[in-house]
Structure 1
């Protein structure tokens, strides 16, 4: 570290979420997730306050620079402190959280199938490591075209239509693809929702879902409440990268 600037700044693509027992770093440019245990998490928070690499042990600082989480700078540039997340109830890693697993019933929707196809195309249209970033760019662009908030009924119908189409999809379709496709589907009707990507712990896990603009989760089980949103896109709730 002797040849590296003593200052650093966190990438604007990175979100840090602090649980009492672990600090999770999510890089929304690559989708890469890292976990820092309490001692390393304390070093991260001190570096965030000071903007100084010297607040971290050299091996930790070198690793975070190598993985693109931190970038050396020539001046003192503190960055945002982590988002605080509540301590999860003890589960010893065995709790079940069926977030986003509900499936709808009803007629086939060509619009929903097209939205899913668009989502898959965006994911696969370039460097695999940048797929998450491409989806975020598409979500942000679609959000800018909306004219009014979707009602709870309109939002739920879109999510369920996408899930019905996903049941017959020939490729992997999980919460990320479903939530993005539902958001894109509503945007084609000029209707806005809030796309959410969040994290829960014990064990550490990620989930993507849709909310109405007033913050109500759409077609989600109660277990989704265990997730702390790290990134939201849409309406006034958007956290920019």
Structure 2
């Protein structure tokens, strides 16, 4: 897990050093910076890419069953993101994830977690707003919390090229409907179970 910096006025920053690049994430503002070590200068620091999943989002309608609860969970996430200033959307989303996780009483099974992610993906296909891994994973947490089931929400970084990804896994580390490339990500922030 990445290095955590102390909070200053509510700000939470984390850092991951891959050797060739250090990635700084400000979870208060959603800002990301990539720093190149001075011995590698004058390299230009890469920009981080948000989203790195390999599922065919937007290309075909997912075949899993429609769920009005999944649509409601996704609508909740989109409302949280839109409810205030864009600069604080990440902070609000993390607070919503933590709040949802705090209401759970039992861990989700890998099958329950996977069904939740797939149901959210199906609902997201019809969403008029941007829905990528961040929104999808947060909605899956909320959907499972409706049923008092807990999972671990993860946000991580893959190093080359630098890309950010959010996903859901069970407490024992089983990925929920994720491609194998997710294992290349270093978790930076984990919410739920005992990781928060």
* Structure-2-length-normalised TM-score: 0.84
Q: For 2:145 and 2:110, locate their aligned partners in 1 and report how far apart those are by CA, in whole Å.
A: 15
Q: Max radius of gyration: which structure?
A: 1
Asked whether 1:116 is paired with 2:74, we answer yes
> What number of residue pairs does the alignment pair up?
175
Q: For residue 163 of structure 1, what is the aligned residue in structure 2?
A: 121
Question: Of residues 200, 207, 216 in structure 1, which corresponds to 2:158?
Answer: 200
Q: Match of 1:111, SS?
A: helix
Q: Match of 2:188, SS?
A: strand
Q: 1:173-224: per-residue Cα shift (whole Å, max 9, x none)? A: 0000000000000001000000000001221110000000101111001011
C-alpha deviation, 1:100, in angstroms: 5.3
Q: Relative to total residues, which structure has the larger strand share, 1 or 2?
A: 2
Q: For residue 37 of structure 1, what is the aligned residue in structure 2?
A: 36
C-alpha deviation, 1:40, in angstroms: 8.6
Root mean square deviation, CA, Å: 1.9
Q: For residue 44 of structure 2, what is the aligned residue in structure 1?
A: none
Q: For residue 99 of structure 1, what is the aligned residue in structure 2?
A: 53
Q: For residue 190 of structure 1, what is the aligned residue in structure 2?
A: 148
Q: For residue 6 of structure 1, what is the aligned residue in structure 2?
A: none
Is the 1:195–1:211 contact (alpha carbons within 8 Å) kept by the matching residues of 2? Answer: yes
Q: For 1:156 and 1:149, locate their aligned partners in 2 and report how far apart those are by CA, in whole Å.
A: 13
Matches within 5 A, 1:169-188: 169-188=127-146
Structure 2, unaligned stretches of length 5 or more? 41-50
Q: 1:114-139: per-residue Cα shift (whole Å, max 9, x none)? A: 00000000000001100000000011
* Structure-1-length-normalised TM-score: 0.69
Is the 1:159–1:178 contact (alpha carbons within 8 Å) kept by the matching residues of 2? Answer: yes
Q: 1:51-82: per-residue Cα shift (whole Å, max 9, x none)? A: xxxxxxxxxxxxxxxxxxxxxxxxxxxxxxxx
Q: For residue 16 of structure 2, what is the aligned residue in structure 1?
A: 17
Question: Of residues 162, 176, 192 in structure 2, which corresponds to 1:218?
Answer: 176
Q: For 2:54 and 2:73, locate their aligned partners in 1 and report how far apart those are by CA, in whole Å.
A: 18
The 3 A distance-change label for structure 1 pair 34 and 40 is farther
Structure 1, unaligned stretches of length 5 or more? 1-8, 42-96
Matches within 5 A, 1:72-87: none
Is the 2:152–2:191 contact (alpha carbons within 8 Å) kept by the matching residues of 1? Answer: yes
